[in-house]
Chain A
Amino acid sequence: MTETVPKPRTVLKLVLVAFGMFGFGFALVPLYTVFCEITGLNGKTGEQYTQSTVETIDKDRLITIQFLTNNNVDMPWDFRPQVRSMKVHPGELNTTNFYVRNPARTTMTAQAVPSVTPFMAATYLHKTECFCFEQQQLASGESLDMPLRFIIDRDVPAEIETLTLSYTLFDITEQPQDQPAIAAE
C-alpha cells in the first residue's frame, strides 16, 4: 500500500491542533476583554481617565445620568448613591458620592463593579476618580462616602440623552487580595 502522507506526521499535526485549540480557549479571555474595551460592549467602562487636554464644556446639551446600586448575593453592606440622578453637560467634570456602611460584625472587603447602559455610551463615560478602581475594606459598623468624578465625553452621540451607571457590590473578603480591580481590565 502506498501512502502520500506519512501517518506520524498527520498524527502530530492533529495533536498540535488539539493543544492549540486548548490554548485558544484561554486566549479567548483576553481577546474578550480587549473586544469589550474597544467596543464598550457589556457596558464595561474604561480605566482611570487622565485629561490630556482641557475640554470645553458643551453648554447646549444636558445629559441625564442615573446611578444604580446593587448588592451581589449575601452582601450585607448598605450601599446607595448620594443622588439618584444628575443632569450634566458633556465635557464638564462632575463629582458625586456613594455611601457604604458595613453592618456586619466582622471586617469585610468589597469591590464595586460598574456597568453602563446603553452599552454604546460606555466608551463616552470617563472616570477621573472612582471607588471602583480600588477595593474597600470596612471594619464592623464603619461607613464611608466614596467619591466618583467623571466627565461625559463631548463626542457622545446625539441620541444618548440618558445613561445609567450601575454598580454591583461584591463581597471579596474570602478572595485573595492581590486580584486586580475590575475597572483596570
Chain B
Amino acid sequence: MSAIIEEHHHDDHHHGPAKGLMRWVFTTNHKDIGTLYLWFSFAMFLLGGTFALVIRAELFQPGLQLVEPAFFNQMTTMHGLIMVFGAVMPAFVGLANWLVPMMIGAPDMALPRMNNYSFWILPFAFTMLASTLFMEGGGPNFGWTFYAPLSTDFAPPSVTYFIFAVHLMGISSIMGSINVVVTILNLRAPGMTLMQMPLFVWTWLITAYLLIAVMPVLAGVVTMMLMDIHFGTAFFNAGGGGDPVLFQHVFWFFGHPEVYIMILPAFGVVSAIIPTFARKRLFGYASMVYATSSIAFLSFIVWAHHMFTVGMPLAGELYFMYATMLIAVPTGVKVFNWVATMWQGSMTFETPMLFAIAFVILFTIGGLSGLMLSIAPADFQYQDTYFVVAHFHYVLVPGSIFSIMAAVYYWLPKWTGNMYDETLGKTHFWLSFVGVNVTFFPQHFIGLAGMPRRIPDYALQFADYNMVSSVGAFLFGFSQLLFLFIVIKCIKTGKKATAQVWEGAHGLEWTIPSPAPYHTFSHPDEVDLKEAHG
C-alpha cells in the first residue's frame, strides 16, 4: 500500500496523462480506464441496439419480410449477449472505476495494471463474438441462455468462438471484481468505516462478490460445453449418460445472481441521485445495506424459478416459488426508502433525477411482473411468451440502462468539467421514457395472449401491438444518438461546472475540482471525512 502512495509521490504525482493514443492502451489510471469502459459499453449498446432493431423491424408485421428465421435467431442471441455482457456490465464497471476511488478517498484502484488488462480483454472478446456472424453457419443462434443440447449437438461451428469469448469476458469480469473488492476493503481513506461508504460503493462491493462467485460457474458451464463438443464427454448428452436439464441448473446457478449483478449497482446510483435532488439524506441507509445483502444472498437460492416447466417435484416448485417471492421484501424496502427520501424533500427535476424517478417507477413495474412470473402455476402459462420479454426488459432497460444514463448525466460535469445541455438532456429523457414504454408495455399484453418469444413470425391477432412495439423501439433506439450528441457536446463545450456541481450533492467526489484532476486523493490528508456519504 504505502509503496503505491510513494510511487505516486515521486513519479507521477504532478504528471498529467501521457500524450497520444498509447495513453489509452497503457493507462493504469482509474479515470482513463473508467472512460474506456464507458465508451466501450456505449459502442456495444449501439451494436446490440442495432440487432434489437433488426428484430423489431422483422416483427413490425406478421410474416417473413426482412430476414431469414436462421438470421433472426442469431439476432436475438447476439442482442442478448452483447447487451448483458457488452453494454450493461462494462458500463457499471466503468462507473465503478471512475467513482469508487473518488468516493472512498483512494488514489486509484488497488491493482492498476490488472485494471488495464481487464479492460483490454473485452474488445478482443467482443470482436471474436461479433465475428461469428460472418462465419460459415452463422453466429450463435441458440438464445443468450444457450441451453444444451441446442448449443452443443445442434450448434453452428462458430459456437467454439462463442465459448472462448465467454471465457474472456468472464476473466475480465473476475479481475475487475477482485480489483473493486480489494480497493474497497484496503484503500478506504483512514477512518472511513464500511458503514460510512456511499451506497454506490456498498452495492458494488456486494456485486463484486457475486461476480467472483458466479462468473467461474459460467466459465465452468461453457467449458463443459466445449468438452461435449470437441472432447467426446457427455455432460449434457443423455445418450452418453449426461443430462440436458443439468445444463439449465448450472447455467441458472450463474444466471440468477447475474441478474442482480446488473441491477445492484443501479440501486447504488439511484441511492446517490435521489437524495441530491430531494436535498435530504437518504432514508434508511443501514436498511439499504442490509436489503442489498439480503438480495445478494437470496439470488443464490432461487435459480430454478427460471425452469419451473422442466418437471420438478411439487416440493421443488413450492420452494423456489416462495423463495423467489421473498426477494420482493428487501426490494420493497429499497423502493420504500427511495420514496421516503423524496417525501417532503425540496425536489428539483434535472435530467439525472428524471431518470432516477423513472427508474423507481418502471423498475417497480418490472419487479411486479417478476412477482407474477414467480407464481409457479401461472409461470406454466407465461413461460417463453412475450410476457417474460416485457418483464426482463422492464427491469433491464428502464432499470439498469436508465440508471446508467442517470449516472452519466449526474457525474458527467465532474468528469468533463462542463455542464451538459439541460434542455437536450430532458428531451433525451422524455424520448427514451416514451420510447421504452411504447416498446415494452404492449409486450405484456401479447405475452398474456400467448405470443411466444424468439420467433420471427406470429399469428395475426398480435399484429397491432407488435407494430406499436416496433415503433416505440425505433423511437427509443434513435433517441440514443441524441444521448451520444449530448455527451460529446458536454466534453467539448458547456457552462463550467463547480466542484460541488449540484446544490444538494454530498460525498467525497464533490470535494475535488471539476473536471476531476488526473490524480486525486494522492495523500490521505486531502480527504475530508466530514463529507463522506451524502
Contact = CB atoms under 8 A, between A and B. Distances in A.
B232 interface: yes
Given A26-B220, A28-B250, A175 B186 contact: no
B195 to A, nearest CB: 15
Chain A: interface residue count, which band?
35 or more
Contact of B178 (A15, A25, A41): A15
A24 interface: yes
Contacts of B221: 25
B185 interface: yes
A2 B190 contact: yes
Contact of B219 (A25, A113, A182): A25
Contacts of A10: 181-182, 185-186
Interface residues of B, number: 46
A180 B241 contact: yes
A47 to B, nearest CB: 12
Given A11-B111, A179-B234, A172 B217 contact: no
B235 A7 contact: no
Contact of B217 (A25, A176, A179): A25
B235 A120 contact: no
A22 B190 contact: no
B240 A5 contact: no
Interface stretch (B208-216, B360-368, B415-423): B208-216
Nearest to A180: B241
A32 interface: yes
B405 to A, nearest CB: 31
Interface in A161-181: 168, 170-172, 175-176, 179-181
Contacts of B254: 25
* Interface of B (DSSP majority class): helix
Contacts of B234: 175, 179
B216 A32 contact: no
A113 B181 CA distance: 46
Given A2-B190, A26-B224, A7 B239 contact: no
A33 to B, nearest CB: 8
A10 B179 CA distance: 10
A173 to B, nearest CB: 10
Q: Which of A19, A22, A170 has the most CB of B within 10 A?
A: A22
Contact of B1 (A7, A11, A15, A172): A7
Nearest to A178: B232
B303 to A, nearest CB: 11
Nearest to B178: A14
A151 to B, nearest CB: 23
Given A28-B246, A170-B238, A175-B232, 6 more contacts: A10-B186, A22-B217, A25-B216, A33-B243, A111-B239, A113-B239
Interface of A: 1-3, 5-7, 10-11, 14-15, 17-26, 28-29, 32-33, 36, 39, 41-43, 72, 111, 113, 119-120, 168, 170-172, 175-176, 179-182, 184-185
Closest 7 CB pairs of A and B: A25-B220, A170-B239, A22-B216, A21-B216, A25-B217, A14-B178, A176-B232
20 contacts: A3-B186, A5-B186, A6-B186, A10-B185, A10-B186, A17-B212, A18-B174, A18-B178, A19-B216, A21-B214, A23-B220, A32-B249, A41-B312, A111-B239, A168-B238, A176-B232, A179-B234, A181-B241, A182-B239, A185-B241
